[in-house]
Amino acid sequence: MKAMRLFPLELRRLLQSRLTWLMMALTVASPVLGLVLYKPADSTTMLSMYLANPALAGGAAGAILFGLLAIFELDRACRSRVDILTDAVVSPLTTALTRLLALLTAAVLTAGLTMLVWLPISAGLIGSVFTGADYVLAYLLLMGLALPLGVLAAAAAYQFTRRADLSIVLFIAFCALSLTVWVGDWQLCWLNPCVWALSDDFSNSRIFRSVAWMRLTWLSALAGVWTLSYLCIRQYGKGMLGSLARSARRIYRPAIALALLACSGAAYAAQPFIDRSNPDLTVMSFYEIPYAEGVTFVRRTAQVFPDTNAGTVTGRASYQFQNTSGQEQSISFGITPGYIISNVKANGTDVPFTVSGYQEYNEARLEVTIPAQEDVELTMEYSGFPQESLPTMQGGKELSSEYLCLENAALSPRVMNVLPGEAGYPAEIEITLPEAMIAIPFGSSRAEVIAENADGTRTWRYETNSAGGILYAGDYICEQIEAGGMTIEFYYGRKHQAVMEEAGAVDAVKAVVDYCTEHYGKLSYGAGDTLKLIQSRVAGGGYAANGASLLDEADFTIANLKDTSKGAVPGEIFIHELVHQWWGLGNMFDDSDGSPWSSEGLTVYTTYRIVKELYGADYAQKYYVDQWQQVVDDYYLNFYVRHPEYLEMLPEAERLNIAGSLSGVRRYNEMPLKILKAEQLVGGEEAMDQILHDLFNRELDPMYPYLTYQEFLDACHLTEEDLNLG
Amino acid sequence: MGKIFRYECRRLLWNKFFIGLAVVLLLYGALVLHAVTILGVAHTAPFSPWSFGDYLSRMLPLLWIGMLFFLTFYTSPKARRAAALTDAAPMPPRRYALARCAAALTGGALLSLLCMVEAAVFYVRMFGWCGWGSLLLPALATLLPALVFALGSGWLLGQIRPWLVYVWMAVPFLLAALPLPEALGLWNGSFFTACPLALETLDPAFVLPVAAAAAQAVLLAAGAALLAWGNRLRNITKK
């Protein structure tokens, strides 16, 4: 109670110190580091660049500053040699508690001040996709909670060592560990959470939950360590152990410390976010499971109930098999780690099942024994919080009232060792979603509303034919575009509407699809006369399948649409990204070797051709060919291009960084120029169009389906030397 | 006077602020070297005088702040109150002020040296390059006039109002944002990226155009003049 009486006095004293105000001011200013120097979130979404990075930088810098302030404040009495006097007036334990409370309050004030100062700046930088909820959560979790962690860690170090210099070294080493060795471990990097991207157009609840979990785990751990150090505060002239023995006489004190440490350990061990998939991605043992003998697949139905508040999924699945073996058979399913399977019945009778501890590619193996009956209906229930595989790229299993993506085993358990029946793998999926969400099966299937429920949800149903299946759902806008002889269903997030309108998205889609279909041919994955283009939450890439293709939201941010290396104006960047449907997804390229031949060369060239058709030759020459030429001229003059021996001398990280930057220049500028030169050498645009048409529609080698530079050169009857620009 | 100079040097350089400044400079220098200088400027090598000059130009705002920060030791209200005692010493105030300015300049020179040593270590570690003689001229041309001017102008402003020294710290950032003429390019670093391109040869040797050299000479002279003026102003104020 005495601590509470002293707290206002201590807080007032703390706030009268110039050093406190300096630390507060530096902390408030520190998010600027995230705009210029420290950018751990490497995605190009607006929220990653202008919210996550400043908040992360502010958190790291603020925690260090407040840690140093804590040590300085705790050492004040000792430094001034008045500790003997103050300890005689107030118990050092009370003083320590009061100072901690005052420092934590100052940290809270600073976090609030930072949020106020950066609110207009962030809103201005982020633009139309800014939301208050994302802003508050980002600053609270990525920055705000870092400050008490810094205070607790530094104060504990001081209370253990009772030496300012030593505790500063210990604290800085602890910070350095988080920033270096632990940087890839999402649970250990207490100072700088693993946040690689925040979505502009959809929710970020998953990544915020993960950061909150990590913060609370560390808060509990450091509070426990601080409590232990509190017990070690020197009293009655005793040393550390003597003071510990004395302070621990009140048993609730060590009990609190141990309880906090135990909570932290439990939270660390029982984290629900990341699975334990085999990190060796070359192992694919689930694909080697032998097919169940004499068992064929008849039908699957599933009713899926996502809880968009909790981020969990509950579902019931039913599988019909034909078992002609006359024996019991073991059927294997892939289930998403985090799901709990229950109530497994075959023809209404409970049957034994096991779930493997081994996980691979974000799946665990569920084995169920089905009876020796010819027609078997297997039913099961599943529920839980779907886990992810990549701790440094969390957010893929986002599940909220704005967005969800349930892929394969996350939608319903995926049959792994049953051969398809005559109809393949027919499936009927029902999913119940909040009213604002629309269900978009990834593929040619079409979902329909079959029930409007009293709780404000709607139940959707669609039929598909696969053992797995992917479903997207969200607060989407759908534009129907007639182009290239087919109907394009273009789905994008409602929050992205202003950006899409500014970029002339609908016109761009139409222009690209008309042009590319006419010149190169229809997309092979278009299902008949329709194609769904679905904007996905930031995921670091996309994919295409029968009747649908993904557009990663990171490719369509305001910042990316202003990247002049891809086109002169936002609409042209949009064209560029859509052309990747032909060169990138429709025709794949092996980009792994860093060679200048990649999907970008043909995509930039095609963008140039479309722009030339839309805006004229002069415009295309000025904003494309001339710019490529200028960049390529600079490239050939680059010191490392002229003296590659110096590039080889650099350490690997620096070398890869520079080589990557030079490779980007070659892919985006040199290769389009070479293709343009090839166009002139083969006889003009029409001849090049015919060559590209033939390449696009060539027969693919399933073992290596990539379009190579040699294939391009052969089709043009040219050699590499013919296309040299020097 | 030597004794006072040594005392002032110890006072300025042997304290946590100098160490803090040095640490910040080294960290920032490492960032600049690894993110910018390593690429080389204007198609030249990272260890060319041009790239080195660009590195120093980027470090200059911090060195400027450091130099002015040293001056706050002498111009703060607390130091002014203590001046009543030091002025009572038998040494002429002008010589006393000169010793102090020399100590501040030594501090600035030491910080500059630290930056240059860091760059030298970087060059050796990354490229095994150690032709440091070619870097002397860009270092002198960039740093000497700017630091002397910082000293002179900061000393004068500190004599007028102590807080003006803190305002003056923002000048390099203002200059970086201004489109300065070519002759003043050394003031914001644009000289090192623009001049080699204008020479139209690959890997040109370092040259300082007459206009730029004159601008730096004027800056140096102005710094010295302001320093003298500041000293005079101090004597007048005292009287």
**Under an 8 A CB cutoff, do B38 and A634 touch?**
no
From the list B40, B126, B128, the residue facing A639 with the nearest CB is B40
CA distance A649 to chain B (A): 6
Q: What is the Cα–Cα distance from A7 to A105, expressed in whole angstroms?
A: 10
Which pLDDT value is given to residue A49? 92
Residue A77 binned pLDDT confidence (cut-offs 50, 70, 90): confident
Q: What are residue A149's phi and psi, to 5 degrees?
A: -65, -45
Q: How far apart are CA A576 and CA A668, in angstroms?
A: 11
Alpha helices in B76-133 (DSSP H): 77-86, 93-127
- Model pTM score: 0.70
Confidence of residue A566 (pLDDT cuts 50, 70, 90): low
Per the CB < 8 A criterion, the answer to whether A403 and A436 are in contact is no
Task: Give the nearest partner residue to B31 out of A37, A637, A651, using CB atoms.
Answer: A37
Binning pLDDT at 50, 70 and 90, where does residue A152 land?
very high
Tell me if chain A has a CB within 8 Å of the CB of B45.
yes
Closest residue of chain B to A657, computed from CA coordinates: B35
Starting from the edge strand earliest in sequence, which strands make up the sheet with A403-407, in order? A403-407, A470-474, A438-441
- Over range A46-50, report the average pLDDT: 92
- Cα of B221 to nearest chain A Cα, Å: 36
Residue of B16, B36, B38, B173 best to disrupt the A interface, most CBs of A under 10 A: B38
Residue A479 belongs to what H/E stretch?
strand A476-483
The stretch A58-76 carries a mean pLDDT of: 93
Contact (Cβ atoms closer than 8 angstroms) between residue A571 and residue A503 = yes
| Range scoring the smallest mean pLDDT among A417-426, A515-524, A566-575, A613-622 | A566-575
What is d(CA A135, CA A204) in angstroms, rounded to the nearest whole number?
11
CA distance B32 to A135: 31
What is the number of alpha carbons within 13 Å of residue A190 lying toward its C-beta? Answer: 25
**Mean pLDDT along residues A40-56:** 91
Cα distances (angstroms) measured from residue A545 to each of A293, A406, A525, A527: 30, 16, 6, 9
From the list B31, B43, B128, the residue facing A649 with the nearest CB is B128
Tell me the range of A82-96, A556-570, B80-94 where mean pLDDT is highest. Answer: A82-96
Chain B residue with minimum CA distance to A659: B39
A76, A79, A84, A86: CA torsion to nearest 10: -20
Instruction: Give me the pLDDT at residue A632, please.
Output: 93
Selected for mutation to probe chain B from A175, A639, A648, A662 (highest B CB count within 10 Å) is A639
Task: State whether residue B176 sits within 8 Å of chain A by CB.
Answer: no
With a CB cutoff of 8 Å and minimum separation 6, the contacts of A281 are A361
CA dihedral (B37, B42, B47, B53) positive or negative: negative
Chain A residues within an 8 Å CB radius of B38: 650, 654, 658
Is the Cα torsion angle B222, B19, A38, B166 positive or negative in sign?
negative
**Stretch B202-214: mean pLDDT:** 92
Q: Which of A542, A545, A570, A583 is nearest to A693 (CA)?
A: A583
Q: Tell me whether B43 touches chain A (CB under 8 Å).
A: yes
CB contacts < 8 Å between A and B, how many?
28
pLDDT, average across residues A81-99:
86
Closest-CA residue in chain A for B36? A658
pLDDT tens column, B156-194: 998 888 888 888 988 998 888 788 888 899 988 899 999
Q: pLDDT of A119-132, one tens digit each?
A: 999 999 988 888 99
Cβ contact B126–A651 (<8 Å): yes
- Winning range, highest mean pLDDT, from A107-111, A324-328, A391-395: A107-111
Contact across the interface for B202 and A637, Cβ inside 8 Å: yes
The answer to whether residue A54 scores a pLDDT higher than 90 is: yes
ipTM of the complex: 0.87
Confidence of residue A524 (pLDDT cuts 50, 70, 90): low
The answer to whether the CB atoms of B34 and A654 lie below 8 A apart is yes
Q: Is the pLDDT of residue B90 over 60?
A: yes
Are the beta carbons of A646 and B45 separated by less than 8 Å?
yes
Quote the tokens at residue A90.
């107030």
B46 touches chain A (CB under 8 A): yes
Gyration radius of chain B's alpha carbons:
19
What span, in angstroms and rounded, lies between the C-alpha atoms of A353 and A345? Answer: 10
B149/B138 Cα distance (integer angstroms) = 17
Six-digit token string for A184: 């890839």
Please tell me which of the candidates B44, B126, B202 has its beta carbon nearest to residue A649: B126
Are residues A45 and A538 in contact, defined by beta-carbon separation less than 8 angstroms?
yes
How far, in Å, CA of A341 to CA of A413, rounded?
Answer: 9
Say yes or no to pLDDT of B82 above 90.
no
Percent of chain B with pLDDT over 90: 50
Pick A639's closest partner by Cβ from B31, B34, B43.
B43
Measure the CA–CA gap between A76 and A517, rounded to whole angstroms: 75
- Let me know the angle formed at the C-alpha of B20 by B18 and B23, rounded to the nearest 5 degrees: 110
Do residues A146 and A220 lie in contact, with contact meaning Cβ atoms separated by under 8 Å? no
Q: Residue A555 is encoded by which pair of tokens? A: 């490719």
Contact list in B for residue A634 (CB cut-off 8 A) is 43
Which DSSP string do the residues of B147-190 spell out, in sequence order? HHHHHHHHHHHHHH-HHHHHHHTTHHHHHHHS---GGGGGGTTH
Between A626-630, A722-726, B150-154, the lowest mean confidence (pLDDT) is in: A722-726
Nearest to A529 by CA among A572, A591, A485: A485
pLDDT of residue A314: 94
Mean pLDDT, residues A439-467 taken together: 90
- Round to whole Å and give the CA distance between A260 and A223: 7
| Partner residue opposite B43 with nearest CB, options A638, A650, A654 | A638
Alpha-carbon distance A657 to nearest alpha carbon in chain B (angstroms): 10
Please tell me which residue, A369 or A572, carries the higher pLDDT value. Answer: A369
Distance from C-alpha of A377 to C-alpha of B68, rounded to nearest angstrom = 83
Residues from chain B that touch A649, judged by Cβ atoms under 8 A, are 126-128
Residues of A with CB under 8 A from a CB of B: 37, 634, 637-640, 642-643, 646, 649-651, 654, 658
Partner residue opposite A649 with nearest CB, options B34, B40, B127: B127
* pLDDT value at residue A115: 94
Average the pLDDT over each of A439-448, A478-487, A549-558, B211-220 and give the range with the smallest value: A549-558
The full set of domains in chain A, from first to last, is 2-269 (no CATH), 292-474 (2.60.40.1730), 476-586 (1.10.390.10), 593-726 (1.10.390)
Cβ(A470)–Cβ(A443) under 8 Å? yes
From chain B residues 112-171, the ones with a CB under 8 A of any chain A CB are 126-128
Q: Does B40 touch chain A (CB under 8 A)?
A: yes
Concatenate the DSSP letters of all residues of A204-220 into one string.
Answer: -HHHHHHHHHHHHHHHH
Listed range (A23-32, A212-221, A654-663) with the worst mean pLDDT: A654-663
What pLDDT is attached to residue A561? 64
| Distance between CA atoms of residues A394 and A396, nearest Å | 6
Cα–Cα distances (Å) from B236 to A96, A117, A478, in that order, read 52, 44, 79
Q: Is A503 exposed, middle or buried (0-12, 13-18, 19+ CB in 10 A)?
A: buried
From chain B, pick out residues whose CB is under 8 angstroms from the CB of A651.
Answer: 126
